[in-house]
Structure 1
């Protein structure tokens, strides 16, 4: 296993711990255990908790952005083949699916965002994660909005993001494809 593979394993384990146990559950020992690595592995790469959390934030943002890149290609292909209505439905289906399959990413994002609001040394984390999480929404909304105002696009992206976060945290019902499609169509 390369050093980069081990770091990725540590960061993935950190994200899972953030989702499962919150910020307080993230300790070097817990990360080592969750990652299935020898004790001291996390400390070797991240001597303190803050650098570990900051690296986990960047790793999480990268995961969210990677998913966006894959969705953009599929969306463009679908618009060309089947038209905008099919593409809007595709976006809605993908977002609804993502809320279930990636709940741990939502929860880790919430934990890191809350920490960012409370800790000056993590002040930039919330903006970075929100930007990464909303990137696919903004892309699709801008693409279909026919140059509508930036405010309308941001409002729709925030609404969809909020609906998804409420579900991921157990505070709201599971979003439906029709619900998300309706919000997306509001900028058409």
Structure 2
């Protein structure tokens, strides 16, 4: 029960962070969001730093599970257009509904990690099936240079577009922007 309660609290903390920002992330706010009695969050996470660390670990776990499931559910891309389709779907998911809220929390944590080495270590990009699909695609289609470096750069650029659209309150990421990123990654 204890681990399940920690997960519920970490999920509630993600929601609070997405809705109110870093200043609004308090033990009391998480108690309210989780629908639990006052003091529950502080009983599980004594300090704000412990709460934030649990939130980031849960956020990364959810993101990793989502990327693994998405990669398992689709066939590997056979063309640049199919890779662009995959990035467009990822961007759409990250900019709408629950995905948007998690994106808000993720980017807030990324900024906070600049001053917190423990959070930075947790947020370091992880290997996952989605990253592996992109790396394999780039290698199979003759991307020049180091496929790992090209993969990292391409994914960082897609992430940057998502952040830009999130900040601007813009709609979907334009297909032409994604096509340009993929074309650049495929240059010999």
The correspondence for 1:95, drawn from 75, 90, 95, is 90
Alignment length, in residue pairs?
Answer: 179
Q: Which residue number in structure 1 is paired with residue 40 of structure 2?
A: 41
1:41-74, Cα deviation, whole Å (9 max, x unpaired): 1111111111111011110000110011112212
Inter-partner Cα distance in structure 2 for 1:179 and 1:135: 24
User: Do the aligned partners of residues 70 and 167 (structure 1) sit closer, same or farther apart at CA in structure 2, a change above 3 Å counting?
Assistant: same
Aligned partner of residue 185 in structure 2, secondary structure: coil
Q: Is the 8 A contact 1:141 1:187 kept in 2?
A: no
Q: Does 1:116 align with 2:109?
A: no
Q: Does 1:4 align with 2:3?
A: yes
- Counterparts of 1:29-108 in structure 2 under 5 Å? 29-75=28-74, 77=75, 79=77, 83-85=78-80, 87-99=82-94, 100-101=96-97, 102-108=99-105
Q: TM-score, normalised by structure 2?
A: 0.82
The correspondence for 2:119, drawn from 125, 131, 136, is 125
Inter-partner Cα distance in structure 1 for 2:112 and 2:16: 15
Inter-partner Cα distance in structure 2 for 1:184 and 1:141: 10
Deviation (angstroms), 1:13: 0.9
User: Do the aligned partners of residues 53 and 127 (structure 1) sit closer, same or farther apart at CA in structure 2, a change above 3 Å counting?
Assistant: same
Long gaps (5+) in structure 1: none
Deviation (angstroms), 1:127: 4.5
Q: TM-score, normalised by structure 1?
A: 0.82
Q: Is the 8 A contact 1:60 1:105 kept in 2?
A: yes
User: Do the aligned partners of residues 173 and 4 (structure 1) sit closer, same or farther apart at CA in structure 2, a change above 3 Å counting?
Assistant: same
User: Do the aligned partners of residues 107 and 130 (structure 1) sit closer, same or farther apart at CA in structure 2, a change above 3 Å counting?
Assistant: farther
Moved over 6 A (4+): none
